[in-house]
Amino acid sequence: MSITLEVAGLVKDFRVRGGPRRTRLRAVDHVSFTIPPGRTLGLVGESGSGKSTIARMITGLAEPTAGHVVLRDAAGRPVPRGAHQEHVQMVFQDPFAALNPFHTVEHHLARPLRLHRRARDRVDASRRVLELLDRVALPAEQIVHRRPHELSGGQRQRVAIARALAPGPQVIVADEPVSMLDVSVRLGILRLLARLQREEDLAVLYITHDLATARHFSDDILVLYQGRVVERGPADDVILGPRHPYTRLLAAASPDPRGGRRALDVDPAAVVASGEMGVYDHHTGRWEDHSGRPMT
Ligand SMILES: Nc1ncnc2c1ncn2[C@@H]1O[C@H](COP(=O)(O)OP(=O)(O)OP(=O)(O)O)[C@@H](O)[C@H]1O
């Protein structure tokens, strides 16, 4: 089954501790996007811009203050809320924290298989566990009885990806899936996610603050600043021809692939001053306000 992820007008407010009652922080401010099957959307923005909060609302770990997360089947019908968990799975930043230190690789994978009725019995579950490990290019027989601390960081993240695949999801939310891994294994994990996406026609939300991998592994990019979308469009257009001062700042501050860091050519104050600017949409080639109306 192919699934499209639709996020419409998503808002999340948090109560600020210690402040006067009713003080709220708007962490996510009317964010909308659609990810069809077989596409990757890169969600970029610096720390605190609201990326993880969006991921948590999509996967049902947090309730939106307003707005909707809708999954649509190939005929455009919404999938009932109760079935979301089976269709949407998350890959977290820290695979060590995401896995239980007391349980073996087999346990981590057999459990979701049984919970989501993807295995008939114990024998079938064991067979499918080996298949899952194969799909994430791990030496199945060698590691199936190991515990998380007996694996390398990259292997742990592959196990976490295998676990995310166990329920047979059509949507994967990958929240900074390589930022805690050794640089030498990052590319391998991103290529694995890209291969799985092609093989399974998955809709992928790739959350990162790294513009270079966002460009390489995403079809489209959405730039988030203080909970708001400020720029969206095809990955190359956004990264190579940024229009919003904030995206320009991000692009200027990101490491030069030839080594070293580029000097900032945008004044951060200009970014703050542009807080009232709208969203630049490369698909339409125009500025829009935050409800999608063209700005003059
Ligand atoms: N449970 C919470 N209670 C109060 N404020 C929160 C909570 N979770 C997040 N926030 C605030 O919401 C804003 C967005 O946080 P979020 O974690 O979504 O950002 P992020 O872009 O994912 O950052 P990072 O890359 O550091 O994870 C931040 O200002 C954060 O302090």
CATH of the domain at 225: 3.40.50.300
* Residue 238, domain member (yes or no): yes
Q: Which atom of ligand 1 is the closest one to the Cα of 12?
A: 12
d(CA 88, CA 174) in angstroms, rounded, equals 11
Question: Count of alpha carbons within 13 Å of 268, Cβ hemisphere only?
Answer: 5
* Residue 143, domain member (yes or no): no
* Residue 151, domain member (yes or no): no
pTM: predicted TM-score of the whole model, two decimal places = 0.91
For residue 22, pLDDT beyond 90? no
CA–centroid distance, 250 to ligand 1, in Å, is 19
Q: What pLDDT is stored for residue 259 in this prediction? A: 47
3-state helix, strand, coil in the chain (%, to 5): 40, 25, 35
- Arithmetic mean of pLDDT over the chain: 90
Mention every residue, 6+ apart, whose C-beta is less than 8 A from residue 165.
89, 132, 135, 136, 196, 200
For residue 258, pLDDT beyond 70? no
Q: What pLDDT is stored for residue 227 in this prediction? A: 94
Q: Which of 15-19, 55-59, 74-78, 179-183 has the lowest mean pLDDT?
A: 15-19
Domain that holds residue 181: 4-92+171-288
Q: What is the ipTM of this complex?
A: 0.94
Q: Which of 6-20, 136-150, 238-252, 260-274 has the lowest mean pLDDT?
A: 260-274
Does residue 48 have its Cβ closer than 6 Å to ligand 1? Answer: yes
Q: What pLDDT is stored for residue 272 in this prediction? A: 54
* Residue 259, domain member (yes or no): yes
Does residue 47 have its Cβ closer than 6 Å to ligand 1? Answer: yes
E strand or H helix that includes residue 287: strand 286-288
Does residue 49 have its Cβ closer than 6 Å to ligand 1? Answer: yes
* Residue 132, domain member (yes or no): no
DSSP state of 276: G
pLDDT band of residue 263 (cuts 50, 70, 90) is: very low
* 131-173 tens-digit pLDDT: 999 999 999 999 999 999 999 999 999 999 999 999 999 999 9
CA–centroid distance, 51 to ligand 1, in Å, is 8
For residue 261, pLDDT beyond 50? no
Does residue 51 have its Cβ closer than 6 Å to ligand 1? Answer: yes
Q: Do the beta carbons of residue 264 and residue 252 sit within 8 Å?
A: yes
Percentage with pLDDT > 90 across the chain: 74
* Residue 260, domain member (yes or no): yes
* Residue 127, domain member (yes or no): no
How many distinct structural domains can be found in the chain?
1
* Residue 83, domain member (yes or no): yes
Structure tokens at 3: 């699934």
